[in-house]
Chains A and B, each alone.
Chain A
């Protein structure tokens, strides 16, 4: 009972704070100086029509690099937490031969997964021109992998291939950053490649390249995380 009272008090206090925030909020009528600088500089200096991608992959690309490092750590953490000393669940819970997924799911996965993969490539490649980019495309790749795993529960992902691809993409991302230090204005500067014509498919310097690397890296990391959640296959003993 006292617990309930404390909960209500906490919610009411937070509600008062949030209410004062909501009532005192007024819409901006012009951009703040920092935002105005980004909106002007990204199209002019970087040649990227999408300002947000310009911020993510050039001006604040170092943060993006740190973030994919966080994702990598989460992938490693999930595998570590779920694999160490864990009994094979198949023996304890499910029968020897788990029921296959229904025909609707399998057919749906067969029809949709190539389309989803193409859509992911489109999102990644057009990140500098329209809404999209490496993170979003990588998440779509992972959703494609999830669809396949739902339709074919016995399907074994090639974890080694995913890990190597992800490491290579990460190393190339850092190398592109160091090339920016040598050839252009600083770490992860996109002007190591020619800017090209504004709005064209091959434009905005290294941003499309960085976008592809980021998409591949995020897609691989999320796939490894998804795979970590699956129960261990029948017959495979603990590898501790």
Chain B
């Protein structure tokens, strides 16, 4: 039940981000849309790894080694999301760097001003 809610939230975030990317004309808002898509994907991935009544896959006083396989959540999506967050941040940095250069060339942040590569 928990993961259903989380999964729906993540999917709605992806949709919101997609809508933002497609409708807004300001490049910074488009980048925020891409960030929302990325965050939604991370939430969806973590939600898919949830196991009913599971806990974090860290062996300590609460979770001993013998019962871990039956009570821990899936560690693979969590490990993937750790790397995906870092890569998402890197992609955002590159997008922002290009935005600064685009602003330098046309003195505007509107995507409508950049018509050279439009088909």
Contacts and interface: CB of A to CB of B under 8 A. Distances in A.
A222 B89 CA distance: 10
A14 B94 contact: no
A50 B58 contact: yes
A77 B69 contact: no
Nearest to B59: A49
Contacts of B49: 35
Interface in A1-38: 4, 7, 10-11, 14-15, 18-19, 21-22, 25, 27-32, 34-36, 38
A139 B15 CA distance: 28
B79 A31 contact: no
Contacts, number: 145
B97 A82 contact: yes
Contact of A67 (B83, B96, B100, B101): B83
Given A39-B68, A218-B86, A81 B14 contact: no
Contacts of A81: 94, 97-98, 101
B72 A51 contact: yes
B79 A86 contact: no
A56 interface: yes
Given A11-B15, A11-B22, A225 B93 contact: yes
B69 A36 contact: yes
B26 interface: no
Nearest to A89: B104
Nearest to B60: A49
A44 B65 contact: yes
B16 to A, nearest CB: 10
Given A49-B59, A135-B86, A31 B69 contact: yes
Contact of B94 (A78, A218, A222): A78
Contacts of B93: 74, 78, 225, 229
Interface string B82-119: 11011101110110111011001000000000000000
21 contacts: A4-B23, A18-B11, A19-B11, A21-B11, A25-B48, A28-B74, A31-B51, A39-B68, A40-B68, A52-B78, A67-B83, A70-B90, A71-B86, A77-B94, A77-B97, A81-B97, A133-B82, A135-B83, A222-B89, A229-B93, A229-B96
Interface of B: 1, 3-4, 7-8, 11, 14-15, 18-19, 22-23, 48-52, 56-60, 65, 68-70, 72, 74-76, 78-79, 82-83, 85-87, 89-91, 93-94, 96-98, 100-101, 104
